[in-house]
Chains A and B, each alone.
Chain A
Amino acid sequence: MGTIIEAVNLRAYYITNAYGVERTVQAVDDISLKIEEGEVYGIAGESGCGKSTLMRVLLNAYQPPLTVVGGDVVYTLDGERVSAAEMSDEKNRDLRWRKLSYIPQGSMHVLNPVRRIRDSFHDFISAHRDVSKAESYQLTAEYLRDLGLPEKVMRSYPHQLSGGMRQRVTIALATILWPKLIFADEPTTALDVVVQRGVIQMLKDVQQKEGSTLVLITHDIGVHANLADRIGILYAGKLVEEAETQTILNQPRHPYTRYLIESLPNLESRAELMSIPGRPPALDRPPSGCRFHERCPLAKDICKTVEPQLIKIAPKHFTACHVVEEELSHAS
Chain B
Amino acid sequence: MPADALLHIEDLTKVFHIRQGFSSQEFHAVDNASIVIDSGKPEIFAVVGESGSGKTTLAKMVLGMEAPSQGNLRYKDRQVAALSKREMKNWFYHEVQPVFQDPFAAFSPLKQIDRYLYETVYNYKMVGDKKEAPRYINEVLSEVGLTLAEIAGRYPNELSGGQAQRVAIARALLTKPSLIVADEPVSMLDASLRMSVVNMFRKLKEDNAVSVIYITHDLATAFYAGDRIAVMLRGWIVEMGPTEQVLGNPLHPYTQNLKTSIPSIKSDEAWDEKIDLAVIETDEYTRTGCKFAGRCPAVMDICHDNIPPSVEHEGRSVKCFLYDEALPAARN
What is the interface of chain A, defined by CB distance below 8 A to chain B? 46-47, 148, 150, 152-153, 160-165, 168, 192-198, 200-201, 219-223, 225-226, 245-246, 249, 259-261, 263-267, 270, 272-276, 279-280
List B contacts of A264 (CB < 8 A): 191, 220, 265
Q: Which of B14-72 contact A (CB under 8 A)?
A: 50-51
Contacts of B193 on A, CB cut-off 8 Å? 275-276, 279
- Any chain A CB within 8 A of the CB of B270? yes
Q: Given A226-B271, A249-B265, A270-B223, A220 and B191 touching (CB < 8 A)?
A: yes
Q: Which of chain A's residues have a CB closer than 8 A to the CB of B274?
A: 148, 201
A176 CB to nearest chain B CB (Å): 20
Bound complex: CA A162 to CA B282 (Å): 9
CB <8 Å contact, A267 and B271: no
**Chain B 147-176, CB within 8 Å of chain A: the 1/0 string?**
000000000000011110000000000000
- A150-B280 Cα distance, complex, nearest whole Å: 11
Nearest B residue to A259, CB-CB: B192
The stretch of B87-95, B122-130, B256-264, B296-304 that contacts the partner chain: B256-264
Shortest beta-carbon distance from A42 to chain B in Å: 12
Which listed residue (A198, A226, A267) contacts B275, Cβ 8 A?
A198
B199 A272 Cβ-Cβ under 8 A = yes
9 smallest CB-CB distances across A and B, nearest first, come from A222-B263, A275-B196, A275-B195, A265-B220, A192-B50, A279-B160, A197-B261, A276-B192, A225-B265
Known pairs A226-B263, A265-B223, A279-B160; A46 contacts B190 (CB<8 A):
yes
- A222 closest partner in B (C-beta): B263
- The listed residue with most A CB atoms (<10 A of its CB), out of B51, B161, B202, is B51
On whether the beta carbons of A223 and B219 are closer than 8 Å, the reply is: no
Minimum Cβ distance to chain B for residue A206 (Å): 14
Q: Is B278 close to A, CB under 8 A?
A: yes
In the complex, which residues of chain B have a beta carbon less than 8 angstroms from the beta carbon of A267? 219-220, 223, 247-248, 259, 262
How far is the CB of A288 from the nearest CB of chain B, in Å?
A: 21
Complex interface: chain B residues within 8 A of A226 (CB): 263-264, 270-271
Q: Which residue of B lies closest to A199 (CB)?
A: B277
B1 interface residue (CB < 8 Å to A):
no
Q: Supply 17 A–B pairs (Cβ within 8 Å), ascending by A.
A: A162-B279, A162-B281, A163-B51, A165-B279, A165-B280, A193-B217, A193-B261, A195-B277, A196-B261, A197-B275, A222-B262, A223-B263, A259-B192, A266-B265, A270-B224, A273-B199, A275-B194
* Chain B residue with Cβ nearest A168: B277
Is there an interface contact between A193 and B219, defined as CB atoms closer than 8 Å?
yes
A193 touches B258 (CB 8 A): yes
Q: Does the CB pair B257–A275 fall under 8 Å?
A: no
**Complex CA–CA separation, A263 to B267 (angstroms):** 18
Q: How far is the CB of B291 from chain A (nearest CB, A)?
A: 14
Asked if B50 and A160 make an inter-chain contact with CB atoms under 8 angstroms apart, the answer reads no
| Residue pair B162, A194 in contact (C-beta under 8 Å) | no
Is B245 an interface residue when CB atoms closer than 8 A count as contact? no
Could you tell me if A219 and B277 are in contact, using CB atoms closer than 8 angstroms?
no
Residues in B neighbouring A195, C-beta threshold 8 A: 50, 277
Chain B min CB distance to A314 (Å):
18
Report how far A197 CA is from B295 CA in the complex, Å. 14
Q: How far is the CB of B263 from chain A (nearest CB, A)?
A: 3
Given the complex, which residues of A lie within 8 Å of B265, measured CB to CB? Answer: 221-222, 225, 249, 261, 264, 266
Asked if B138 is at the interface of the complex by the 8 Å CB criterion, the answer is: no
Q: Is B120 located at the chain interface by the 8 A CB criterion?
A: no
Q: Most chain-B Cβ atoms within 10 A of its Cβ — which of A200, A221, A274, A276? A: A276
CB closest chain-A residue, reference B49: A192
In the bound complex, do residue A194 and residue B275 qualify as a contact, i.e. CB atoms below 8 Å apart? yes
Nearest residue (CB) in A for B259 is A267
Choose among B190, B199, B277, B280 the residue that contacts A198 (Cβ–Cβ < 8 A).
B277
Q: For window 197-225 of chain B, which residues contact chain A by CB distance below 8 Å?
A: 198-199, 202, 217-221, 223-224
**Which residues of the other chain, B, contact A201 by a CB distance below 8 angstroms?**
271, 274-275
In contact, A194 and B247 (Cβ under 8 angstroms)? no
Q: In the complex, A272 Cα to B257 Cα: how many Å?
A: 26
19 further interface pairs, Cβ-Cβ under 8 Å (given A164-B277, A165-B280, A194-B257): A150-B279, A161-B279, A161-B280, A162-B277, A163-B51, A193-B217, A193-B218, A196-B261, A196-B263, A219-B191, A225-B265, A260-B192, A264-B265, A265-B224, A267-B220, A270-B223, A270-B224, A273-B195, A273-B199
Complex Cα distance A192/B274, Å? 16
B221 touches A265 (CB 8 A): yes
State whether A246 touches B223 (Cβ < 8 A).
no
Contact B263 A225 (CB under 8 A): yes
- A260 and B194 alpha carbons, distance in the complex (Å): 11
B284 to A, closest residue via Cβ: A162
> How far is B280's CA from A60's CA once the two chains are assembled, in angstroms?
36
CA distance A272 to B248 in the complex (A): 18
The smallest beta-carbon distance between A301 and chain B, in angstroms, is: 25
A330 to B33, CA, bound (A): 62
Known: A226-B263, A226-B270, A265-B220. A194 touches B258 (CB 8 A): yes
Q: Are A160 and B220 in contact (CB under 8 A)?
A: no
